[in-house]
Amino acid sequence: MSDATKHVVIVGGGFAGLNAAKKLGGRAGVRVTLVDRQNYHLFQPLLYQVAMAGLSPADIATPIRSVLARCQNVSVLQGSVERVDLQARTVSADFGRLEYDYLLLCCGSIPSYFGHREWEEHAPSLKTIPQATEIRRRLLSAFEEAERTEDPDLRRQLLTFVVIGGGPTGVELAGAIGEMSRFTLARDFRNIDTRLTQVILIESGPRILSMFSEQQAARAARDLEKLGVQVRPNTPATSIDEQEVHADHERIRSSTVLWAAGVRGVEVDGLLGQHGQHGPHGQDDRESDRGDRVMTDRGGRVIVNEDLSIPGHPNVFVAGDQACFTHQTGAPLPGTAPVAMQQGRFVAETIRRDLAGKPREAFRFVDKGQMATIGRSRAIVEIGRLRFSGWFAWVAWLVVHIYFLVGFKNRLLVVLHWAWSYVTFRRGARLIVEREWRFGNEKAK
Amino acid sequence: MSDATKHVVIVGGGFAGLNAAKKLGGRAGVRVTLVDRQNYHLFQPLLYQVAMAGLSPADIATPIRSVLARCQNVSVLQGSVERVDLQARTVSADFGRLEYDYLLLCCGSIPSYFGHREWEEHAPSLKTIPQATEIRRRLLSAFEEAERTEDPDLRRQLLTFVVIGGGPTGVELAGAIGEMSRFTLARDFRNIDTRLTQVILIESGPRILSMFSEQQAARAARDLEKLGVQVRPNTPATSIDEQEVHADHERIRSSTVLWAAGVRGVEVDGLLGQHGQHGPHGQDDRESDRGDRVMTDRGGRVIVNEDLSIPGHPNVFVAGDQACFTHQTGAPLPGTAPVAMQQGRFVAETIRRDLAGKPREAFRFVDKGQMATIGRSRAIVEIGRLRFSGWFAWVAWLVVHIYFLVGFKNRLLVVLHWAWSYVTFRRGARLIVEREWRFGNEKAK
């Protein structure tokens, strides 16, 4: 490769990073290194199905290497990025240091417990495959333990599930638990009636699905209630432990609590300087106000320029959940897959324009609508002013999700799993897999 | 249920236990409780495909409850059996105690490291799903690390894989690694040539696949060598650590060592009395030789009567890998799925005969032949004197395995995965999933 070849380092193989790498793949004048802590790209929108035992992890995850195998100018390295040096233009990872000409950070978001990290133990979130399989383990184990116990109070506690957070993920989880307990599991147990399972969806705000219209959200709430889910708005959780949730002066005894209430952008050392500067909420004013300070919003997301670069560093971009982009509507764009995909492609295009000597443009998100699903064969869809719900919305939801899933085989498999579950009311991946692989707990001497 | 209803407790939901429960399901006069530490039945013969990233765990595992959902007289409890009291006729589990009229123990086998349990850390076995995913993680991580490192010695060590044990499992693992490195991974990496991967299959005995004819075993060895596997008979491992295996005065530097060399029966407390008695190799003669002592063979398997009951306790049976049955040929029957299935059904039938007042019969294993597969589209088959190998044998292997797989959907999925891999040379489940589910290793503060 010529000396003029520019090295683009992409940190993160999610929707933004993968789309940027694909768009830069095969292009002359650039070589790309994509670094991710995982060896796979995860299709997050279907992760709740892994937690709910409907799909296997491999159905919604694809090795990043495979996706990019044909892009000869793209290398993939599995590793963890520890630090960025904006002055030296280097990225330090656990395997060594990379120099870059362009840097795209798209490390995504992590769950936020609003200062209560001790809650995570009792209320796992749903961002990664191990978290999804852990949720699956807890959910299914609760039914198993309820079948074994003779104590009616413990049984009631085991058959009470609390989902915290009324966004799309919370709604999907609560709906799936309701559906599973009423249909899938009903005839498998002898000592318990799984149809008596309680599912409680608590939301601190005035209603669930706040990004949807009131009418659609009300429709979703009704659908949830048909699946036995109690929807409780205006109910912030104030404490969580192994046995119960305190929410709005009520104690809900529950062995299985799931967290879907909030995320924050992943922090990368070096990006904000040694002390970290915060936006409207930060107090650190030691550096002069040159207008090129890198700042984050309250959710830890990096406030980016119109072209997704960061102030003072036109060769460094942040995209996806890690970015806070407010130039379009004043409000930050949501942390969704469509935003990340479009931003990833936009950054690749911006680099291409740079190399071609063309001026940069501003990023514009093209909103193609939003959708959420509520248990078996119900969904709500909003595309601009077009709103619909019910079975037809669910089919639309399914088609869109399968269309965007990466890999032909994954699409085929997911269609198959769904068709199967739809016809039989079963779930294909109801495995409780222990975390330990050694046989040390055996009696082998 | 009437007082005359007999309670059958089955410990273990493998091939023996599941087949016994199915056969007793719906039958008048008995109620059945099946206890297993897992909530799923695992189709062991395809477990190596999970380790080799070809299948997902859920493709070869089915919830025991689902399989037995229609058998209203069968209860399933997830739990760990801690002790058997043959006099009181009770089984103690972690969730409580069960009284039995009949007891079937079929707890299977666990890896045996011949007194070197410290080897397990460096050379995992393949008996459970967590072990399979751990092997997958190590295998794929070795390629990832080789791609990252600049050290040629370390790279060579990372691209050297040692499989210990030349039985069917060892052959399947070695063949699959050879195939994967030569075909699946070849175009995905930029810095390494995965086709230079070394796979070494070491076997302490004079040849691999000792249960097959010499001719067939030689054919398998040639097929393995075509996939780049070095087959080394007469090579016992004498030490294993993180970086190397000592075998027959040679040091093989390897980061990934897999153990397929031996198993032993699971021990259940209370079965052998307080001290445990051993067969030809035991020295414990404190109890008088009444002819009804329960003894185990060298492999820890319980020596059973002709009807699979244990000496002195006609209502207690042991079947599958946990049993040592020598009455047919003098030699113990092998620990295979067909033996376990037939034994499980036989025990159910024996209980039925008891209840009908008919005399018991002796167990007779009907040998339908044996088969082993060697990487992509090669296998060896022996059915009595009929022996064949190559592509046709591989198709036979495939058909038999899919036929015996539990559950229609699993069959469909496995066929699909295979067809896909066969056409594309890809493997669908190449995920390196970390074991920890918390986000504590993130930088969130």
Torsion, Cα B152 B153 B158 B159, to 10 degrees, reads 70
Report the residue of chain B nearest A299, measured CA to CA: B444
Distance from CA of B444 to the nearest CA of A (A): 7
Specify the long-range contacts of residues A250-253, CB closer than 8 Å, at least 24 apart: A252/A160, A252/A162, A252/A200, A253/A153, A253/A156, A253/A157, A253/A160
pTM (predicted TM-score): 0.91
Q: Determine, for residues A432 and B134 on separate chains, whether the beta-carbon distance falls below 8 Å.
A: no
Q: B329-345: string of b/e by CB count within 10 Å (b at 16+)?
A: eeebbebbbbbbbbbbb
Q: Determine, for residues A431 and B61 on separate chains, whether the beta-carbon distance falls below 8 Å.
A: yes
Nearest to B168 by CA among B386, B370, B389, B390: B370
Nearest to B71 by CA among B6, B5, B20, B133: B20
Residues of B serving a catalytic function are 172
Structure tokens given for A205: 């705000």
SS (H, E, C) B375-413: CCCCEEEEECCEEEEEHHHHHHHHHHHHHHCCCHHHHHH
Provide the sign of the torsion angle of the four alpha carbons B334, B340, B345, B346, taken in this order: positive
Contacting residues of A for B431, CB less than 8 Å apart: 38-40, 57-58, 61, 63, 129
Phi, psi of B16 (to 5 degrees): -70, -50
Distance from CA of B204 to the nearest CA of A (A): 23
Which candidate in A76, A136, A430, A434 is best for mutational testing of the B interface (most B CBs within 10 A)?
A: A430
Judged by a CB distance cut-off of 8 A, whether residue B411 touches chain A is: no
Each residue's pLDDT tens digit in chain B (445 positions)?
Answer: 456 899 999 999 999 999 999 999 989 999 999 999 999 999 999 999 999 998 999 999 999 999 999 999 999 999 999 999 999 999 999 999 999 999 999 999 999 999 899 999 999 999 999 999 999 999 999 999 999 999 999 999 999 999 999 999 999 999 999 999 998 898 899 999 998 899 999 999 999 999 999 999 999 999 999 999 999 999 999 999 999 999 988 999 999 999 999 899 999 999 886 444 454 444 443 333 445 689 999 999 999 999 999 999 999 999 999 999 999 999 999 999 999 999 999 999 999 999 999 999 999 999 999 999 998 789 999 998 899 999 999 999 989 998 888 777 788 888 888 887 777 777 777 888 877 777 654 433 3
In B108-255, DSSP assigns E strands to: 109-111, 160-164, 198-202, 229-232, 237-240, 244-247, 250-253
> How far from A48 is each of A51, A60, A119, A159, B21, CA to CA, in Å?
5, 11, 20, 20, 33
Structure tokens given for B387: 């022996």
Structural contact between residues B337 and B324, judged by C-beta atoms closer than 8 angstroms: no
Q: Determine, for residues A57 and B433 on separate chains, whether the beta-carbon distance falls below 8 Å.
A: yes
Q: Which of B79, B130, B413 sits opposite A434 (nearest CB)?
A: B130
Structure tokens given for B143: 């390629």
Q: Determine, for residues B95 and A149 on separate chains, whether the beta-carbon distance falls below 8 Å.
A: yes
Burial class (CB in 10 A: 0-12, 13-18, 19+), B424: middle
Neighbours of B264 (CB within 10 A): 22
Which of A172, A179, A203, A382 is catalytic? The answer is A172
Nearest to B258 by CA among B178, B372, B155, B322: B178
How many beta-carbon pairs below 8 A join chains A and B? 191
Each residue's pLDDT tens digit in chain A (445 positions)?
Answer: 456 899 999 999 999 999 999 999 989 999 999 999 999 999 999 999 999 998 999 999 999 999 999 999 999 999 999 999 999 999 999 999 999 999 999 999 999 999 899 999 999 999 999 999 999 999 999 999 999 999 999 999 999 999 999 999 999 999 999 999 998 898 899 999 998 899 999 999 999 999 999 999 999 999 999 999 999 999 999 999 999 999 988 999 999 999 999 899 999 999 886 444 454 444 443 333 445 689 999 999 999 999 999 999 999 999 999 999 999 999 999 999 999 999 999 999 999 999 999 999 999 999 999 999 998 789 999 998 899 999 999 999 989 998 888 777 788 888 888 887 777 777 777 888 877 777 654 433 3
Judged by a CB distance cut-off of 8 A, whether residue B134 touches chain A is: yes
Torsion, Cα B318 B321 B327 B328, to 10 degrees, reads 130
Q: Which of B76, B409, B442 sits opposite A266 (nearest CB)?
A: B442
A118: Cβ contacts below 8 Å, ≥ 6 apart: none
Contacting residues of A for B56, CB less than 8 Å apart: 56-59, 429
Judged by a CB distance cut-off of 8 A, whether residue A423 touches chain B is: no
Contacting residues of A for B443, CB less than 8 Å apart: 266-269
Q: Determine, for residues B95 and A148 on separate chains, whether the beta-carbon distance falls below 8 Å.
A: yes
Judged by a CB distance cut-off of 8 A, whether residue A77 touches chain B is: yes
Q: Determine, for residues A78 and B188 on separate chains, whether the beta-carbon distance falls below 8 Å.
A: no
Judged by a CB distance cut-off of 8 A, whether residue A377 touches chain B is: no
Phi, psi of A409 (to 5 degrees): -65, -40
Q: Which residues 250-279 of A are in CB contact (within 8 Å) with B? A: 264, 266-269
Three-class SS state of B73:
coil
Provide the sign of the torsion angle of the four alpha carbons B219, B224, B228, B234, taken in this order: negative
Nearest to B227 by CA among B176, B155, B186, B159: B176
Integer Cα distance of B242 and B119 in angstroms:
9
Q: Residue written as tokens 């991946």?
A: A429
Phi, psi of B101 (to 5 degrees): -95, -40
Which candidate in A11, A34, A62, A66 is best for mutational testing of the B interface (most B CBs within 10 A)?
A: A66
Judged by a CB distance cut-off of 8 A, whether residue B149 touches chain A is: yes
The C-alpha angle B228, B134, B371, rounded to 5 degrees, equals 50
Contacting residues of B for A59, CB less than 8 Å apart: 56
Contacting residues of B for A61, CB less than 8 Å apart: 431
Q: Determine, for residues A443 and B269 on separate chains, whether the beta-carbon distance falls below 8 Å.
A: yes
